[in-house]
Amino acid sequence: MSPAALTPELTLTAGAVLGILLGSWLPRHRQWVVRLLAALACLVGLTATAAAIGGAPQLVFGGSYAVDTATNAGRVIVLAATLLTICLSIDTVGSHPRETEFYVLMLLAALGTIMLVGATDLLLLMAAYLLASIPLYALAGFAKDALGTEASLKYYLMGALLGVIMLTGITALYGAGRSTGYATLAQTLPSGPPAAVAVGLVAVLAGLLFKIGGVPAHFWVPDITEGASTPVAAFVTTVPKIGGLIATYRLVAEALPAAGVNWPLLVAMLATASMTLGNLAAFFQDTVRRLLAYSTISQVGYLLLAVTVATRSEIALPALLFYLAAYAVTNLGAFAVVAALPHAPNLADYRGLARRHPGLAAALVVCLLGLVGTPPTAVFLGKLEIFSAAIDGGYTWLAVVAVVNTVASLFYYLRWIAPALVAAPETDSEKVLAPAGRWPVLGAYTAAAASLALGVAGGVVLPLVSGPSLL
């Protein structure tokens, strides 16, 4: 195995280790050096991944970790999303006594998420789950206030419970298939006890659903989104989904393609529940953070469409990878606007935003209409690809359910857009809509522009995520 194959992972590891060592020696007013180190680690990882795109797929670590198109796409999305979150957090975490710990925890969580993407062995999947979870428990309560502490505790308890359930599922699959490697499980599970395979699959999916915030393991999402700081909420509701969804796709496509369990129908039901419950709950939210929380739950449902037809449609994997990139920039853009306007927690507080800050209003409109799936944003193209994959895989009814949910979701996004564009500003709106700093504003502009650029240049990007893969 060439160490160069794992340059992005090694770069994040080195960034985290050097960051904690530097933070131990640097004075408090110079902790920003660790922030630069974290950004540099992401940039080096992106450069190394760009150089590796198009290379032949390979298995490393004794066949337990895949380096292919899916892994490279996951690396790019995770590293770019982490870089954007670092931009959002500068004004919030800058000069904080524990600024070093914040960025080190973020790098470790990004590393765990990338490991989830490439894992082709159940034991490595469990290790990646823990690495992608434990740093986020600490980040959720980083502010040490009442809401953050409560959110962190709930997040930890749910993560611990579902982690134990996932470990139980891994044990069941090992007992049924006599191996933890996906390649061997694909050969042995079809002849294993169906009940053990079914129990193992459901239990492992429970842990992965926790990572992606899908129904029924979604209860932590609103509490974290409302209780944690805005940059942490943006990171937690975006980055783990990338690893969790690709890991779920890899599990069902590599380990369970011929197992005697109707897992496509199970995933389809989970997708329907996530789309519908997320949208229904978002209808009645008056706070922007809780609206975005339920929006992320509904987006999980759309993304699970690609997992449902993982073995039935050749365009399922490219559709999933493109949608994940589109969702990441668009969701982070919406959170960037929220971070830029910390004194406007409710929808009504956005009255007159277009008049006072037309650039932020434009970014908000692009991101919210992007989450709906309006052209020419990236999510529109992502949804189009995923709906096509669902129909191609024989799940037309699921595509119809997704289209109905998409139309319904327009209602609650317009509840946020309308006050920003139409209503007259109130007398105290200048104070309520005062931007907190330039970095979140820059992040909002960057994300909105990326969402539009990705939508317009989709014809160039889609072939890049359709390259050689082990899936």
The answer to whether the beta carbons of residues 197 and 225 sit under 8 Å apart is: no
pLDDT digits (tens, 9 = 90+) for 375-414: 999 999 999 999 999 999 999 999 999 999 999 999 999 9
According to the model, what pLDDT value does residue 104 have?
A: 97
According to the model, what pLDDT value does residue 62 have?
A: 86
Q: Which pair of structure tokens corresponds to residue 167?
A: 């470990």
pLDDT digits (tens, 9 = 90+) for 35-68: 999 999 999 999 999 998 888 899 998 889 999 9
According to the model, what pLDDT value does residue 425 have?
A: 61
Average pLDDT, the chain: 93
Q: Count Cβ atoms within 10 A of the Cβ of residue 313 and give its class: 0-12 exposed, 13-18 middle, 19 or more buried.
A: buried
According to the model, what pLDDT value does residue 262 have?
A: 92
- pTM of the shown model: 0.96
Residue 5 has pLDDT above 90, yes or no: no
Residue 427 has pLDDT above 80, yes or no: no
Residue 42's closest CA among 5, 98, 86? 86
Least confident of 53-67, 113-127, 148-162, 228-242: 53-67
The percentage of residues in the chain with a pLDDT greater than 90, rounded to a whole number, is: 82
Residue 336 has pLDDT above 90, yes or no: yes
Q: Please give the residue that has the higher pLDDT: either 5 or 320.
A: 320
Mean pLDDT of 214-220: 93
pLDDT digits (tens, 9 = 90+) for 283-292: 989 999 999 9
The number of beta carbons lying within 10 Å of the beta carbon of residue 257 is 14
What pLDDT band is residue 330 in, cutting at 50, 70 and 90? very high
Residue 123 has pLDDT above 70, yes or no: yes
